[in-house]
Amino acid sequence: MQYKDYYKTLGVDQDATQDQIKQAYRRLARKYHPDVSKEKDAEEQFKAVGEAYEVLKDPEKRAAYDQLGNQWQAGQEFHPPPNWDAGFEFSGDDASVFSDFFESLFGRARRPSSGFAAHGRDHHAKVMIDLEDAYTGATRQISLNVPYVDETGHVRTRERTLNVRIPKGVQQGQQVRLSGQGDPGVGQGKAGDLYLEIEFRPHALYRAKGRDVYLDLPVAPWELALGAQVRVPTPAGKVEMSIPASSQSGSKLRLAGKGIPGKTSGDLYVILQCVVPPAKTDQERQIYEDMEREMAFNPRQRLNV
């Protein structure tokens, strides 16, 4: 176990006032908060800052920590001296998991006494699925690090694996809840829940926006001009679609109900993207030249040029 220099983590002096500690924490918490931060390893930094503040904001914990003396260096191999915390009383706090160093010093307060009941902690995990999975449902294997309290009262973690069925109809960013699949409760307390946040892998063809799905469909100029019956891929299989005559590149056609399924299914929007065939041969060039001569078409009319 390595010694942690909480003062260094917060960037304050050992004789910093509680106000200075609070200010330092707030500044660093804003900098590293995973919801806000763009920093690399923000999450890790944020945890370290939170742990340091957890100790230093509480005068009892801070005094006990100070009592360890200042001959320690951050990262140095550390064992708490026997009875080091005699005379201090720590109140139990929320169930976030701190470092082994923290647990060895302050973790004892969590040992459940008889008759004590608490809800198990919820777990959160991100799950990557493909858009197709949202149409059919998917099964994913999830590994969780579940903390438990060992015989000596220390919090340890063990890995738990479970197979999770994600129902069809799920959308990007939505949460799926698995009741009772979080940490076990303490005493009579109920187990926590497992929350999965769904993220779609980028797809080569489709883009999802809420329950609607977008597809860029390459089309030939004559298909736009004359109208056509074309085959269109959808995440649920190919369908036939008609392009009305006189369509323009960029126009959007709606395939109702072909988006992500649900009580109200989403729609699939097909965006027509004109692809101009290159004029490679003399004959092909001739066709374009005929069009230029015959059609008297100015694409820049709106620009008055």
Partner 1 sequence: MISKHRVVTGVILDEQTELTVSDLCRSCSVRREKIMALVEEGILTPATQKPDDAYTFSGSSVKRAKRALKLQRELELDLSGVAVALELLEEIERLRSALRLYEETRGLLRE
Q: Would you tell me which residues interact with partner 1 (CB under 8 A)?
A: 22, 25-26, 29-30, 33, 35-36, 46, 50, 119, 122, 139, 141, 161-167, 169-179, 181, 193-197, 202, 207, 209, 214, 216, 262-263, 271, 273
Token pair 């001739």 in the structure block, residue: 286
Report how far Cα 64 is from the mean position of its chain's Cα atoms.
37
Nearer to partner 1, 50 or 112 (CB): 50
State the Cα–Cα distance between residues 2 and 105, nearest whole angstrom.
12
State the Cα–Cα distance between residues 88 and 66, nearest whole angstrom.
12
Nearer to partner 1, 64 or 196 (CB): 196
Q: Which is it for strands 212-219 and 206-209: parallel, antiparallel or unpaired?
A: antiparallel
**CB 7 → partner 1: shortest distance, Å?**
20
Nearer to partner 1, 100 or 216 (CB): 216
State the Cα–Cα distance between residues 23 and 134, nearest whole angstrom.
45
Task: Enumerate residues 6+ apart whose C-beta is below 8 A from 164.
Answer: 127, 139, 140, 141, 142, 176, 178, 194, 196
**What are the φ and ψ backbone dihedral angles of 100, each rounded to 5 degrees?**
-55, -35
Nearer to partner 1, 1 or 137 (CB): 137
- Radius of gyration over every alpha carbon of the chain, rounded to an integer in angstroms: 31
Nearer to partner 1, 10 or 196 (CB): 196
